Each structure stands twice: as structure tokens, then as C-alpha cells.
Structure 1
Amino acid sequence: MRWLDGEVALVTGGGSGIGRAVVDRYVQEGARVVVADLSADRLVAVRDELGDSVRTIVTDVRDIEQNKAAVALAESAFGKLDVFVANAGLGDRFIELADMAEGDIGTAYTQIFDVNVKGLVLGAKAALPALVRTKGSFVVTLSNSSFWPDGGGVLYIASKHAALGVVRQLAHEFAPVVRVNAVAPGATRTNITSPSVLGAIENGGPAPAPDNGSEGDSEVERVTPLRRHASPEDHSAAFVLVASRTQGGIMTGTVIETDAGLGIRGLRRVRGGDNLRERVLGGQN
């Protein structure tokens, strides 16, 4: 049996990157999915590839009415909503405070926090009645930047730390009826949008900019214990687990860190097992 058979999910920012990988995996696991994204073009591609398993809606997560419209689409098209995945997010292009123009700080702060923090709260508010009806779950895309510095600039790091607080508080407030969990990816080969004031090009919304995987494969592999620069698909199984009633039903307030072992980097060495095979097996195969 597939882990999400018969479930209905809504994924914000589901047109590309990690969000799109989650949409694809949820469909593979038996779910029907409403895909919400700011880009109409990306949504056309989703519909063309996934057909009747999905419905799509252009959504700005900063607006409560647009969040409510996405939830309403799930209920009208598929009869219910079991899982809301709050995945939409903005980056800050790794710009540090010393390099920010004073006049840009307020604008960038508002744009980033409106998506990364307020967007979560509005999504939860919009979805709560539907999730209470199904005893469903609310899932948030966090980041290694929810725990560690230098996975972005000060605005992104602060917003992701705040998002972790949203997860923990809502898990408390919604228990025992609605579960609230999160996945915290590390460096990933994908793009994340950033406010134009920080240097991106405006194009009907914030434009693509490299995320915390921008250093390239070799650099990310050098600093991660598992020597892995993740693809979006590498994170999708964790999103399935926290959404599944049968496999993740005991979990709430849980954050699964899919970060190639970032949290166990050593002080002397990034990883201790670089020559483990030779030490344990010697010349054996």
C-alpha cells in the first residue's frame, strides 16, 4: 500500500524545486494534490505532466484570501484536505548586513518575513477548519538555516529560526487534533527566489536566485559529512513520512533534518570515516 493512498494535499510553492519534488512524490504515494504557486507558467507544466491527479491555483501566500481559495479548491475538487504543506519561501542571496544598503533593509525584511513567517501563519489559519475536519496535518519546509548560521544572510536565517518557532507553537496549539511537523533540508541543487531589492530581477514577482546550494557540488560535498549535495527529490520521502497517518501518526512538533549530516560535523574533521573502509576491511572487497 502506498503511504498516502486516498489523501488530499495542498503544496504551496509546488511548481518548482523542493515543492515540485514533494508534489511528484505525493502523487506517486497515492495522493491527489492541489499545487499552489506564484507562477502560472510553472503550474501549466505541472498540469501537463501530472494530469487529473492535481489541480493548480496561482497563489500568493502573503494573502489570507488566496490561501483560503487554495484550500477551497482542494475541498471542491477532491472533497477534503488532509495535508497542507507550507513550502513557499524567499531567500536573501546570502547578503550580509554590512553589505546591505540601509534603505533596502526594511523592504527586504518585510518581503522575506511576509513569505517565510506570515505565509506559514496565514496558511495554517486558512487550512485549519479543513484539517480539523479530517484530523489532518500541517507540514512546513524549514531549512538547516532554522538551526545554524551562514546558510543565508541575516534576514533569511532570522526568518527560518522564526518559522521553527511557528512549527513548535502550532504543534502545541493544534494537538491532539491536527499534527504539525517540518522537514529541514540542507544545501540543495535548486533555485530559491529573492526580493528584487537584494539584486534579483523583478519579473511578475521575485526572480530566481541561487539558494544555499549555490556554492556548487564540490564545495557542498567538502563540508557535509555524507559528501552529498542534495537534489530536491532527496528530501521528498521525509515529507511523505510526516504526512502519513499510518507511518508518521505518532509525530507532532517533529523536525526531520535532511541535511547530509550537517549537525554532526566534527571540530577536527568534517567527517571521521573518510578512510573507514580501509581501516575496517583492509584489502577486502
Structure 2
Amino acid sequence: MAWLKGQVALVTGGTGGIGSAIVRRYVAEGARVAVMGRDAAQLAALADTLGDAVITIEGDVSRYQDNQRAVAATLEAFGRLDTFVGNAAVFDYFTRLDRIAPEEFEGAFQKLFATNVQGYLLGAQASIEALRETRGSMIFTLSNSAFYAGGGGILYVTAKHALVGMIRQLAYELAPDIRVNGVAPGATNTPMKSLEGLNSRSVPLNQIPGFEAGAAQAVPLQRIAEPEDHTGHYVLLASRENSGLTTANIIHSDGGWEIRSAGAAKPRKA
């Protein structure tokens, strides 16, 4: 424990699922954490639970002013910033391109990319100066959909693929002062919401009938992840002592998706 003692992090989308798990793990590892989210009630509940180790900022990641305000609040409260974690995202409920009405496409595209791509870039832009002062790092939440088809619909998968290039380019532009890495979780038991109005059948990810069993059967390790299963990777990448020479790297945390068999998972031996 205490891999992050004395460090300060800013986590976007930090009120539920993987985001809140990262916040809790960072606090357990000795960090102080600023949490940015849109749900005031969830932010308040997190602050009540974790106390003085966290501050909360209500804001929209797609607006530069809100990201700038979050960084300023972090510096005011804790005096420094060591790690920016871009985590906020919305899903598209597996919606195919031919199921999106042409007249609705532009609006849906802009809304999803505003959160899933623009939000990461604006958060990075707002935190660069503070991270240069500490020679800190950026960590972004991707997905197995950043590398493989089928983990979402056309908008979500395209956005996640774009983030692979974003990480590599930012690592190139910001070296040697700031390390830039990512974590690519697979299917996770999380209440991730889909873009409003895109698909009338959409429900939070972990409420999809059969989601847990189907996700477990699709990978060699044969279980769905809990949000906490991914958090060690975020700790490792934030730690200067243990990842000081790691940049432009994306850690896969997906149960072995790349080596999955085509079809049903192989039965376990007795």
C-alpha cells in the first residue's frame, strides 16, 4: 500500500463504476484526489465517505472552462497535481451505423465524441502546465473496443480507437516532462449509461439481460470484471517509482480478449 503517498490526482467521471473505484484505490494508496463529475448527489456521497482526502467538482468534461476550473480547484486544495485520469465516457448501446437515422447522426456523433474524445483532450490541455511542474502523468480509460470490433456500436468503437492515437501523440508531444498512458478494460459490471436518445432499448450496461454471463463466456479467464479489478493498473502507471520509464503504453485488462476462441468458451476441466 501507499504507492501514491504524497501524490495528488484529478479523476474525471469519478462518481460511479471504474471511476469511483479508481478514486477509492488512490486514496487507499495515500493519494489525495479531486473528483470531477456531473451528478451532485453522487459527488456528495463520495465526499462523505472519503472525507478530507477528496474534493469534488461538478462539471461537464466537454467544456474547457469546467476542466480548467477542476484543475484550479485541485491546486487550490492540494497545492499540486501529479496525475490526471481521464475516465468520463458514455456508451452507444451497440447501435449500428445503419440503425442511426441520417438526420440524427451528426447530433449523436457530436454528443458522444464531445464526452469520449473531446473531454479527454480538454482535460489533458487544462492539466498540462500543472503536470509539467511535477513531471507527472496522464492516464486515460480506454476499452477492449479500442482494439477490437464488437464491444460497442459504431460511434463508441470509433471513439475508443481514436484514443489510441491520442495517447501516442500526447506522449510524443509532452515528453520528457509528462508520461501519457492508458488502461483498456474489458466487459465490467458497471452502470455505464448510453447516449440519451440514440437507442430506445438502451439500459445501463450491467442491466442488459445476460450481460454478465455472456461477457464471462467470451474470454479465456471466464469471468466478468468488477470495477476494482482494473484499479491496480492505474496505481502502477501513476507511480513514478514503478513506472517512471513507461509512456505511450496501454495496459489491457480484459480477461484475455485477444486470445478468445471463436465461439463459445472452452469448458473447464474437472
Question: Same fold by TM (over 0.5)?
Answer: yes
Q: Does 1:258 align with 2:256?
A: no
The counterpart of 2:268, out of the listed 258, 266, 274, is: 274
After superposition, residues 144-183 of structure 1 pair within 5 angstroms as 144-183=144-183
Partners in 1 of 2:35 and 2:166 — Cα distance?
22
Match of 1:62 in 2: 62
Match of 2:76 in 1: 76
Deviation at 1:213, TM superposition (A): 7.4
Paired residues, what number? 270
Secondary structure of the residue that 2:128 maps to in structure 1? helix
> Structure 2: which amino acid aligns with 1:62?
S
Is the CA contact (8 Å cut-off) linking 1:189 and 1:213 kept in structure 2? no
Q: Does 1:245 align with 2:246?
A: no
Higher Rg of the two aligned structures:
1
Unaligned 5+ segments in structure 1 are 202-206, 279-285
Deviation at 1:208, TM superposition (A): 6.5
Secondary structure of the residue that 2:197 maps to in structure 1? helix
Query: What is the aligned-residue RMSD (CA, Å)?
Result: 2.0
**51-60 or 262-271: bigger deviation:** 262-271
> Structure 2: which amino acid aligns with 1:191?
P
Is the CA contact (8 Å cut-off) linking 2:9 and 2:85 kept in structure 1? yes
Match of 2:104 in 1: 104
Partners in 1 of 2:112 and 2:261 — Cα distance?
32
1:61 to 1:173, Cα distance in 2 relative to 1, 3 A: same
Unaligned 5+ segments in structure 2 are none
Partners in 2 of 1:11 and 1:215 — Cα distance?
31
Match of 2:50 in 1: 50
Deviations, residues 97-152 of structure 1 (Å, cap 9, x unaligned): 12222222111100111111111111111000000000000010000000000100
> Structure 2: which amino acid aligns with 1:30?
G
Is the CA contact (8 Å cut-off) linking 2:184 and 2:250 kept in structure 1? yes
Q: What percent identity do the matched residue pairs reach?
A: 45
Deviation at 1:215, TM superposition (A): 4.0
TM-score, normalised to structure 2, is 0.95
Partners in 2 of 1:129 and 1:213 — Cα distance?
41
Match of 2:192 in 1: 192
1:215 to 1:128, Cα distance in 2 relative to 1, 3 A: farther
> Structure 2: which amino acid aligns with 1:274?
R
Match of 1:226 in 2: 221
Is the CA contact (8 Å cut-off) linking 2:206 and 2:212 kept in structure 1? no
Secondary structure of the residue that 1:194 maps to in structure 2? coil
Match of 1:283 in 2: none
Is the CA contact (8 Å cut-off) linking 1:184 and 1:259 kept in structure 2? yes
> Structure 1: which amino acid aligns with 2:35?
V
TM-score, normalised to structure 1, is 0.90
> Structure 1: which amino acid aligns with 2:195?
P
Partners in 2 of 1:212 and 1:152 — Cα distance?
15
Deviations, residues 4-25 of structure 1 (Å, cap 9, x unaligned): 0000000000011100000000
Deviation at 1:220, TM superposition (A): 1.3
1:133 to 1:200, Cα distance in 2 relative to 1, 3 A: farther
Secondary structure of the residue that 2:75 maps to in structure 1? helix
1:122 to 1:103, Cα distance in 2 relative to 1, 3 A: same
Partners in 1 of 2:200 and 2:76 — Cα distance?
37
Is the CA contact (8 Å cut-off) linking 1:226 and 1:261 kept in structure 2? yes
Is the CA contact (8 Å cut-off) linking 1:200 and 1:209 kept in structure 2? no
> Structure 2: which amino acid aligns with 1:136?
G
